[in-house]
Amino acid sequence: METFSLLLCGVILLLSALFLHSRNTKRAQFIRMIDQIPGPRAYPIIGSLLPFIFTKRSDMFEVGQKIIYKHSPIFRIWIGRLADINLTRPEHVEVVLSSSKHLDKAIMYTFLHRWLGTGLLTATGQKWHSHRKMITPTFHFKILDSFVEVFSEKSEILVSKLQKEVGSQGFDVYPYITKCALDIICETAMGTPIFAQDDGNSEYVKAVYDMSEIVVERILHPWLHPEFIFKLSASGRRHDVCLKVLHGFTKKVIGERKVQMLINRENSDQFSGSNDEAMGKKRRKAFLDLLLEVSLDGVKLTDEELREEVDTFMFEGHDTTSAGICWAVYLLGLHPDVQEKAYQEQESIFQGSDRSPTMKDLNEMKYLERVIKESLRLYPSVPVVSRRLNEDIEIGDYTIPAGCMLTIQIYNLHRNPDQFPDPEKFDPDNFLPERAAKRHPYAYTPFSAGPRNCIGQKFALLEEKTVLSYILRHYELRSLDKRENITLISELILRPQGGIRLIITPRNAGSSKM
């Protein structure tokens, strides 16, 4: 018996040693493959993050850009023990984004799980496939058409609120547009008006901004990666306070909406139509209503899955769009010639009328669409996206091993001089059909691309056109800060530190009566 026990212990020790040797050998091979790719120096524990650890938040973007310019077009960084391969050329980006094999988001997206769960932004595998298939019909053209009315209602409030800034020597337009976008997403995503534009300080918006800062801080400090350490930190405690605000808001609205749907169903059983329908109006459905009704193979979303998707819509649907509109307003205010062309297009469509735009009107705004696209080229709302590599692939001259992250530097991708001559120039004609046709299909990816592109990009474009149409028709814009004086804050969303400072002048006497 004793001999058997000794033999058994020996076998276990041998197998353990072989297992550890195998793991160490694989790890060593992985490191060798990664370090064949150029990149900044890496140190124990912190990897390549030394330049960021003691850098002010306002300098982070500039420090990152120096690294990118030095090591592009393809380079590696180590985030602690995690390898991250960064791409800046369209032919390299295409290998990743066009593939149906590399759809999983990078491990860093797990830092969003306590907030967004595994909704469309962060989900992987079968859950992402099934939810994408289930949710895609809620972005149908006819449903988007019904939301144009909401876009207009909230834009009218926006131009009215801006009236108090007429005659000022300059103001930050960012909070105005953020609250407008929040009003829009709340009513379209959840069917609930929250009157953010009448509220002096939105607790929800502040919580979103704080969460974005916390997530990036955690990424750049590897010792905060383990959950138990993060929870004990000051950032972890601040994270929990934000979560309480964000989840409390969406859970309350979902609960109220479910009760309202039951009441509506009971009323529809008693009457042939609702009061609104009797008056000739069709009740507008929100995304939440559609999600409560939709199912795949008879399976509906659970309450937790509903909360995840609504939280995702709320974040993606107001923060990214706010940034997109603000950057467009800023660039229009810097370029009077472009602004005048965009205004004349509005005049040709509306003939001086204050009426709300129709879907047909929005589709005719070809020049304004080019302005928006060029704004997103220079200042993409989401400046980077990352994937997890599930198998070895060849990119350029390198074999990149499974298990690492691949980060697409969209901000730099959009500045490729091979694809955009004079890449820093603001030129909406970059998106004339004949120019766009000559470019690499992955040279411009503000909404990502391929199978996992942004499901809400049509929604965002229609919203941005509507809001900008109202602003242009009512006000002449002048931006106060040159581009070289703007400090970029690149967290989850690309924002300007200090906001967007404008001077606005009414277009005509009619606009001052809003």
* Residues of each annotated binding site for heme: 454
Neighbour-count burial of 251, counting CB atoms closer than 10 A to its CB (0-12 exposed, 13-18 middle, 19+ buried)? middle
Write phi, then psi, for 256 (nearest 5 degrees): -65, -40
**Which of 413, 377, 388 lies closest to 74, judged by CA?**
413
Q: Which two tokens stand for residue 449?
A: 């691309």
Element (H, E) at 477: strand 475-479
| Alpha carbon separation from 415 to 68, 75, 90, 304, 424 (Å, rounded) | 12, 17, 11, 40, 7
Three-class SS of residue 501? strand
Q: Which two tokens stand for residue 393?
A: 């692939």
Q: Which two tokens stand for residue 110?
A: 């797990």
Q: Binding site, residues? A: 454
Tell me whether strands 405-409 and 82-87 are parallel, antiparallel or unpaired.
parallel
Task: Please tell me whether the peptide bond between 73 and the residue prior to it is cis, using omega within 30 degrees of 0.
Answer: yes
Quickly tell me which residue has 């009566």 as its tokens: 513
Q: How many CA atoms does the CB half-sphere of 362 hold within 13 Å?
A: 24
Rg of the chain over CA atoms, in angstroms? 25
Write phi, then psi, for 357 (nearest 5 degrees): -75, 150
